[in-house]
Structures are given as C-alpha cells and as structure tokens.
Amino acid sequence: MLYRYLEGMQWVLYYYYTGAKHWRWFYPYHYAPMISDMGNNIVANFLENKNTIREFVTDTNCNANPKPYTPFQQLLCILPVGSLEKFLPIQYSNLARQILKEYFPDEFDIDLNGKTLPWEAAILIPFADEKKFVDAENYLFDNGMKFDEKTQERNTISFIYPSYHYDKNRANNSSSERRQLVSTLTHMKPIKDDLTAMVLCEDYAKVGTSSFSSKLLTGV
C-alpha cells in the first residue's frame, strides 16, 4: 500500500508536468496510509534509493497497456447507472444492469472515517475490473452495436482538440446567414447564433513525452 501511494503521488506529478505516463494506472485501495507509516526515510525504505518512479506497476485490474481508454470505456467505469442512461448509448446502461451488475450495486456501504457529510465518505464499492468491462463492451459490438457518425466522434481518442474563438466576420453577417452552435453534450440545447471560428490545436499531441510549456492554450 505504501509503495502504491507513493507511486500515485509520482503519477500526479507526471500528469501535471509532462503528461500521464500510464493512462490506466490507478490506486487500488479505498484508503491512504497514515503519514506516520511512511517512516523517516521514504526513498531508502520504499523506493530502493531511487528519487523518481519511472515504471508504473499494474495488477490484475489494470492492463499493462499505458494508452488511454476510449471515452465510453472510461465513463462506463465511473458513472452511476442513471448517468449512463443520459450520456451514453442505452446498451451501456444495460451492461451495468446485467453483465456488470456487481459493480453497480443499488445499496453499498460508506465509511465516514471521521467526516460528517455523506459526500466526504469513502464509497466502498468494488473497483472496476478492466478486462470484464472491456470484454462486456466487445460483447456489444460482437452482437451488432454500431455508432452513428456523431456518436463515434464522441468516442474517439485524440490529443488534437478543437479550439474556438470569436469571429467578427460572422458577427457582422445578417441573422439569416448565421447558424446554431450545437453542443456535443446531447442534453444541452444549441446556442442560437454561432459566432465562433474553429481551429485544430496540437498542444497535447506529444503528451507524456515532453514537459508542458508554461502558457495559456491557444484560444484561451
């Protein structure tokens, strides 16, 4: 537990300073160790005298493949059933109610652990088993599930992202020439007038391989 906790802190540092080294790594415990458990010499006692953790250990719940999950795979692992029904194709909430039901209990224990409010508690539900979740999704595809173009776009892994900025030329157009700004969030209504221009940015294309520049992203 102590090593995995230190590994988690190293993962966070990589995430914010160079990009995630392993997109599927997770901390496999509901609790953190006590700071007193760390002892007087963390580097010597737990890191074999290394100052930096460069390799991230995976276990049976975490694939050695460091690449990201698809957006739908990740959301399937973290959203409750009610949210799955609203944000993903209906087949995913059916998985949560059937094949993967043990990971989506209707009732579960919480541990306040010295806190007073429910949302501060540790939620004692099973950790997602990656293989079972991915196999369950593959079962859907094997049995005919297909996405339309917009849904497939929402489920695409890409570090090239669209950036929008105000376009004064569109603002000068007559209202009859303007178009709606449609959100990729299917439950949100479109904005009446789209006065933006879109460009594709590649700021994250090398994520995990080089340090981030200290600057605002394009379009911010």
Give how far the C-alpha of residue 88 lies from the chain's centroid of Cα atoms, to the nearest Å.
14
Rounded Cα–Cα distance for residues 22 and 31 (Å) = 21
State the distance between the two ends of the chain, measured CA to CA, in whole angstroms.
40
Burial 62-80 (b: 16+ CB within 10 A, else e): bbeeeebbeebbbbbbebe
Biggest CA-to-CA distance, the chain? 71
Residue 204 has pLDDT above 80, yes or no: no
Residue 121 pLDDT:
93
pTM: predicted TM-score of the whole model, two decimal places: 0.71
Max mean pLDDT range (68-72, 180-184, 189-193): 68-72
Task: State the pLDDT confidence band at 126, using cuts at 50, 70 and 90.
Answer: very high
User: 20's torsion region: left (phi>0), alpha (psi -120 to 50) or beta?
Assistant: beta
Residue 212: count of CB within 10 angstroms of its CB: 14
Residue 62 pLDDT:
62
What's the residue count for the chain? Answer: 220
Phi, psi of 211 (to 5 degrees): -70, 150
Query: What's the CA dihedral at 94, 98, 99, 104 to 10 degrees?
Result: 90
Q: pLDDT tens-digit profile of 57-116? A: 655 556 677 888 899 999 999 999 999 999 999 999 999 999 999 999 999 999 998 899
DSSP secondary structure string for all residues of 84-99: HHHHS-HHHHHHHHTT
Rounded Cα–Cα distance for residues 12 and 28 (Å) = 15
What residue has token string 């460091």?
Answer: 66
Residue 35 has pLDDT above 80, yes or no: no
Rounded Cα–Cα distance for residues 159 and 211 (Å) = 15
| Contact yes or no for 62/24 (Cβ under 8 A) | yes
Residue 218 pLDDT:
64
